[in-house]
Amino acid sequence: MELIFADEEETPSGHQKKVFKKPWCILLVDDDAEVHAVTRLALKGFEFQGSELELLSAYSAQAGREFFHSRDDIALAIVDVVMETDHAGLDLVHYVRNTLENHRTRLVMRTGQPGQAPEDRVIREYDIDDYKEKTDLTIQKLRTLLYSKLRAYRDLCIIEYQRDGLARVLDATSMVQNAESLTVFATAVLDQLTSLLNLDRSALYCIVLPNGDNGEHESKTIAATGDFVQYSTDTRFTDLPEIVSQRFTQVLEKRAAQHFDDAYVLYTAAKNGGCNLLYLKHARELGNMDRQLLEIYTQSVAITFDNINLQEELRETQKELVYTLADAVEARSKDSGAHVKRVALTSELLARLYGLPESQIVLIKTASPLHDIGKAAIPDTILHKPGKLDADEWTLMQQHAQFGLDILQRSNRPLMKLGAEIALSHHERWDGTGYPNGLAGTAIPVAGRITALTDVFDALGSRRSFKEPWSDEMVTDAIRQGRGTQFEPALVDLLLNNLDAFNAVRREFPDPD
């Protein structure tokens, strides 16, 4: 809904604000032309909050309905009871409230024959806002009626406007759980905010980290729209346009929102001691209601940002930790870090094709690089042996599964727990002849079954100290051979039926020569 209310404040310079003013739309429904003429005369020159009236005349209930169809801004309808039928006016009221579900327009019955529709019954049974006898409505009474009904209509509209705004805040907030990244979320919220308020689409959202020892502000741009779109993520605000960084500095000093000629800068303190800055360019001045809504928005958004920051940080930390750990092991085993990345991505793909819930897919993607973490405990001489392992070496090598569990099971984090489960079970075989526990079929955890397949699929096509990479054909033949013996048949089918997607991951993250 657009803002239709004049802001009565004067700006300091004395100019009336340029706020879009619409006339108040009043509909008269009466089959007596005389009533229309008298009413128009009585309301001549009437103004409410600086806006005039737009009077619509309907000479039958049917014509009244048509106005309700074509206009959504009727503030007040004054409706005669007896027109086409004894109760045509009452039917119209029923139609507006119950069929059109319009509860906003104020409805006043005006009757010349009170006996036809007794006041008490009509007010009780119909959702109307007032009941007047034609003889009651002197000029002054009519004007008084208009003031009070327009006030009520205005308040209803404000409530609806804010309710819509709040609904958007809630929508945006619930979106966060699914947002891939802070930037995606922040940009979506900015877009909503600017469109809701009919602002210029140019806006920036920056996060300022707590002051370092040297008093310099560390900051980065999280979202940018409209004219600012080139200052995408991670731009420090000292690298933003001069006027913007000047204003940011001012707002940071005052620690409060500030209103400039052509922009509004909001300030919200963050939990970590830093703050968030929202820069909104605007082509018009903001009314009180806009500002109120902006406050509601930014408060909710700030809370959301705090949460998402935390989530993001946790996620990043975990990811870093996992890759660092896995890389360290990979580096020792002279495999490249690309192997763990490919296993992560192909495991994600396979988990999704298998139909696991999204939350589990993400966990498997993040935890699967940990499958060989236990190799950290295997001596270099075995790990780097160019040829075949002897029986003793092989016995020790097989223990990397158990070692992985030992390392990871100390943590209670879901990610680490799943990593432990994968480490322990990624060399089990569907037919029960794998190690370390000889589990078979679905007794092997699903994440282990998935990683078993993606690990071997990737290992076969890769160089090892003891082997050359196999050709694509040899790899797929081996996987097909393993269907139902080494690997779960359904997983093999999914991989082979989507081979292009799996091979694409290998091509995208190749081992260095």
Can residue 427 be called a binding residue for ligand C2E (CB under 6 A)? yes
Residue of 18, 103, 413, 467 that binds ligand SIN (CB under 6 A): 103
Task: Tell me which residues in 474-493 interact with ligand C2E (CB under 6 A).
Answer: none
Count of residues interacting with ligand SIN (CB under 6 A): 8
User: 452 near 460, Cβ under 8 Å?
Assistant: no
Q: Quick one: tokens of 86?
A: 């004894």
Q: Which of 66, 125, 127, 320 binds ligand SIN (CB under 6 A)?
A: 127
CB of 423 to Fe ion, least distance (A): 8
| Comparison of 176 and 322: residue with beta carbon closer to ligand C2E | 322
Indicate the residue among 18 and 71 with the shorter CB distance to ligand SIN.
71
Candidate ranges 224-232, 266-274, 282-290, 457-465; the one touching ligand C2E (CB under 6 A): 457-465
CB of 186 to ligand C2E, least distance (A): 40
Give the binding range for ligand SIN (CB under 6 A) out of 31-39, 102-110, 134-142, 260-268: 102-110
Q: Is 330 in the site for Fe ion (CB under 5 A)?
A: no
CB of 508 to ligand C2E, least distance (A): 20
Of ligand SIN, ligand C2E, Fe ion, none, which one sits near residue 303, judging by CB under 5 to 8 A according to partner kind? Answer: none
Q: What are the beta bridge partners of residue 29?
A: 58, 79
What's at 60, amino acid-wise?
Answer: S
Whole-angstrom distance, CA of residue 151 vs CA of residue 187: 37
The answer to whether residues 26 and 55 touch, using CB atoms and an 8 Å cutoff, is yes
CB of 208 closer than 8 Å to CB of 275:
yes
Near ligand C2E by CB under 6 A: residue from 74, 82, 460, 494: 460
258 conformational bin, left if phi > 0, alpha if psi -120 to 50, beta if neither? beta
Cα within 13 Å of Cα(226), Cβ side: 19
Indicate whether 327 belongs to the interface with ligand SIN (CB under 6 A).
Answer: no
**Is position 389 an interface residue for ligand C2E (rule: CB under 6 A)?**
yes
- Gyration radius (Cα) of the chain, Å: 35
Residue closer to ligand C2E (CB basis): 455 or 488? 455
| 35 within 8 A of 134, measured Cβ to Cβ | yes
Shortest gap between Cβ of 460 and ligand C2E (angstroms)? 6
Q: Taking contact as CB under 6 A, which single stretch among the options 96-104, 108-116, 378-386, 411-419 is the one that binds ligand SIN?
A: 96-104
DSSP designation for 59: S
For residue 372, state whether it binds Fe ion (rule: CB under 5 A): yes
Which DSSP letter does residue 462 get? S
User: Does 388 qualify as catalytic in the annotation?
Assistant: no
Q: Strand, coil or helix: what is 102?
A: coil
Residue 238 neighbours by CB under 8 Å, 6+ apart: 219, 245
For residue 464, list its beta bridge partners.
467
Q: Is 22 in the site for ligand SIN (CB under 6 A)?
A: no
What is the separation of C-alpha 201 from the centre of its chain, rounded to a whole number of angstroms?
Answer: 18
Binding span for ligand C2E by CB under 6 A among 23-31, 57-65, 172-180, 385-393: 385-393
What are the DSSP calls for 137-148, one per residue? --HHHHHHHHHH
Work out which of 105, 225, 336, 347 binds ligand SIN, going by CB under 6 A. Answer: 105
Helices 288-332 and 182-196, interaxial angle, to 10°?
A: 170
Closer to Fe ion by CB, 30 or 458: give it. Answer: 458
The answer to the question of residue 465 lying near ligand C2E (CB under 6 A) is: yes
Q: How many residues does the chain have?
A: 513
Dihedral angle over CA of 225, 231, 235, 238, nearest 10: -110
Catalytic residue of the set 149, 341, 365, 375: 375
Q: Which is nearer to ligand SIN, 159 or 331 (CB)?
A: 159
**With CB cut-offs between 5 and 8 Å by kind, which of Fe ion, ligand SIN, ligand C2E, none does residue 466 bind?**
ligand C2E
Query: Which stretches does DSSP call E strand in 370-468?
Result: none
Rounded to 5 degrees, what are φ and ψ at 432? 90, 5
Query: Which active-site residues does the annotation give?
Result: 375
By the criterion CB under 6 A, which residues form the site for ligand SIN? 72, 102-105, 127, 129, 156
